[in-house]
Amino acid sequence: MKPTKAIFVLPLFLLIALAAGAPDEAMGRVTKVIDGDTFDVQLQDSSLSEDLIRVRLADIDCPETRGSKACEAGKNASAYTRSWLLSTYIFLDLDDKTGKDQYDRWVAVAYLSEDGVPGRNFNKILVDAGHAEIKDFENNEFDPWSWWSQE
């Protein structure tokens, strides 16, 4: 490749790489909290063909609220998520590698809407509050250590 072509191609690759990790791939209002790390979002601004999606927060794990592993900590995590997210607007960085998990939920990092732009990382907020732990699921695009260590 000639050096002049590289000058034009390199910025294009950088732009694509930055867009792949965008915290605003989808935006909407949380309509229902299923448990600490799963909720429904009515999309407002998205390239997805769906209007209502179920989201599973990427690379974290909350205690269970149902089934044989249900516990009080799971109920507390659910209540915490509900208090932060229910009826609020969030931005989503959707997993570009696998998209949905085995339960048809979109895997994402969620960002609170602050003045109409992506703000604080809710995955990190949930971990820092002690309601979830980091669990690096390697089948998605995310590296939890990169977003957890950011302020």
pLDDT digits (tens, 9 = 90+) for 10-61: 443 333 333 345 677 999 999 999 999 999 999 997 788 899 999 999 999 9
pLDDT at 148: 73
| Nearby residues of 100 by Cβ (< 8 Å), 6 or more positions away | 106, 107
What is the rounded CA–CA span in Å between residue 53 and residue 55? 6
Higher pLDDT, 20 or 130: 130
Count of domains observed in the chain:
1
Higher pLDDT, 122 or 138: 122
Q: Which two tokens stand for residue 52?
A: 């209502």
pLDDT at 146: 85
| Cβ contact 48:26 at 8 Å | yes
Sign of the torsion formed by the C-alpha atoms of 134, 140, 146 and 148:
negative
* pLDDT single digits (tens) 1-15: 555 544 444 443 333
| CATH at 132 | 2.40.50.90
In a domain, 52, yes or no: yes
In a domain, 123, yes or no: yes
What is the rounded CA–CA span in Å between residue 64 and residue 58? 16
The boundaries of the domain holding residue 56 are: 23-148
Phi/psi for 65 (5° steps) reads -110, -15
* pLDDT single digits (tens) 59-118: 999 999 999 999 999 999 999 999 999 999 999 999 999 999 999 999 999 999 999 999
In a domain, 10, yes or no: no
Q: What is the pTM of this model?
A: 0.83
